[in-house]
Amino acid sequence: MIQRNVYAAMDAAELSSSVSDHFAHRWSDYDRQIRQAIPSYDFVLDLLVDIVRRGSSPPMSIVDAGIGTGQLAARLLTAFPEARLIGIDIVPDYLELAAQRLECYSQRVALIEGDLATLELPDGADLYVTSFALHHMTDATKQKVYRQMHAGLRADGVIVNVDFVDSPSRYYSSLFDQMRIELMRAEGMSVAEIDDRYVRHRQLEIPTSLVRQMGWLDSIGCCDVECFWKYLNLAMFGGRKRSW
Ligand SMILES: C[S@@+](CC[C@H](N)C(=O)[O-])C[C@H]1O[C@@H](n2cnc3c(N)ncnc32)[C@H](O)[C@@H]1O
């Protein structure tokens, strides 16, 4: 049985009820929907694991911030059989699905229900990952979360984020949206589904540009800040905590 702790409910100012509703309504069919909506979803999660695997030593302590149904966590627990993982999410139904998916790793997993924006994030991690979870936060909150992740890392620990990113160019921002919509149509999503899951969802997003977020990682004390992958308005990037 996976240990599960519940912390303070969401910060209403940060995670508006429409955003939490957006996530809460989608948990049951999430695994299918995310693959339709995010091109290369499996590829990018596998790439993240591969990049971490090639680091100097395997992570022993991992935090997955916004764990969802545990797709990334399962990959990490398989790739690093000695690692312990803490998964955090604000939606209890997602945590339930993550608990089911990760049951076979139960001795190595703890789940926390809470809001990343207000929670005190765990210490002593070798790896902080977050995938498609921060794009509803304001810049100030994203920076606070990055700072906390960095503070919670051991020296040489790594932060990796995969998320929607804003384009500084209005032209490319709109082109990327158009291309994402075409990809979703090709994946079999109806116009109504795309409107519900992408177009309206975009109005709830507060994406931040890749360059800006990489700059924040640099300024809070990360080295080796790098973009590992970018495709249209999606990117994976991260950095390593300087050992000074
Ligand atoms: C699009 S899903 C991604 C889930 C998972 N990381 C993945 O890659 O499949 C975003 C997840 O982040 C969680 N989330 C969003 N904002 C959050 C917050 N402020 N605190 C904790 N979890 C949050 C949502 O509940 C949801 O499970």
| Four-residue CA torsion sign, 26, 29, 33, 35 | positive
The pLDDT of residue 115 is: 97
Q: Is 66 in the pocket of ligand 1 (CB under 6 A)?
A: yes
Task: Report d(CA 16, CA 169) in Å as an integer.
Answer: 27
pTM value? 0.93
The pLDDT of residue 1 is: 83
b/e 157-187 (16+ beta carbons within 10 angstroms → b) = bbbbbbbbbbbeeeeebeebbeebbebbeee
Which residue ranges in the chain fall short of pLDDT 50? 9-13
The pLDDT of residue 12 is: 42
The pLDDT of residue 5 is: 84
Give distance in angstroms: CA of 156 to centre of ligand 1: 26
Q: Is 116 in the pocket of ligand 1 (CB under 6 A)?
A: yes
The pLDDT of residue 153 is: 98
Q: Name the residue of 90, 96, 134, 198 whose CB sits within 8 Å of the most ligand 1 atoms, as the mutation to test its pocket.
A: 90
R_g of the chain, CA atoms, integer Å:
17
Q: Is 234 in the pocket of ligand 1 (CB under 6 A)?
A: no
Pick the atom of ligand 1 nearest to 27's CA: 27
Give distance in angstroms: CA of 95 to centre of ligand 1: 10
Q: Name the residue of 33, 116, 160, 198 whose CB sits within 8 Å of the most ligand 1 atoms, as the mutation to test its pocket.
A: 116
The pLDDT of residue 243 is: 82
Task: Report d(CA 231, CA 210) in Å as an integer.
Answer: 11
Q: Is 87 in the pocket of ligand 1 (CB under 6 A)?
A: no
Q: Is 71 in the pocket of ligand 1 (CB under 6 A)?
A: yes
Residue located nearest, by CA, to atom 13 of ligand 1: 66
The pLDDT of residue 22 is: 62
The pLDDT of residue 162 is: 98
